[in-house]
Structure 1
């Protein structure tokens, strides 16, 4: 659980929320245009972080097995937003356990 938390905190939250979600969802909702360079730069490190989480995850029914943990509650809000962007498909193709987990959680 702590490893997943550390990966999210150190490598995934910033690119996912501060760059992808802000640029894809917030900026256009306020009349602006998405900065594609910012999104592209944020997408580059995201699969590495997600694949690291995938390697630690049990994925059934929760990230780390049969009980919900803090790890679930760290990933869920990020996935809520990032899944609303087309970049979710770019970031998660190599993470079948996370995708299955997300389908169940959502």
Structure 2
């Protein structure tokens, strides 16, 4: 899956956990965050009105997916422990955009480990470069 393993954990259990979280992001989070971001950020920036129904319908499953990731992550300080991994890089862009919406607080309200993780990774120089 990932050729050089630089950002992939060596422990089989952590590698499996990484793939599990990536699966949740792919199958249960990505599209819903996309809907929220499109409706809350993109549509208004182009003069349109946010479809609150779409945002509400996307928020509940996004919250459920975030809570599932919370239950699987260590977030101390990174999702799988002390080293940044592919799964951190995979989730960071979604949090960059989601954190710019009013739904961020509701969706992440019951996920203290992920909120702590976000506070940490949001301060990384490379993350700061792409969020400016």
Residues paired across the two proteins, number: 105
For residues 51 and 2 of structure 1, the distance between their equivalents in structure 2, rounded to whole angstroms, comes to 16
Segments ≥4 residues shifted beyond 6 Å: none
Scaled by the length of structure 1, the TM-score of the pair is 0.97
Specify the alignment match of 2:24 in structure 1. 7
Larger relative contact order, structure 1 or 2 (CA cutoff 8 Å, min sep 6): 1
Q: Which residue of 1 aligns with 2:96?
A: 80
Gaps of 5+ in 1: none
Matches within 5 A, 1:13-32: 13-17=30-34, 19-32=35-48
Distance in 2 of aligned mates of 1:47 and 1:15: 9
The CA distance in 2 between the partners of 1:47 and 1:29, in whole Å, is 25
The Cα shift of 1:26 comes to 0.3
RMSD: 0.6
User: What TM-score results when the alignment is normalised by the length of structure 2?
Assistant: 0.78
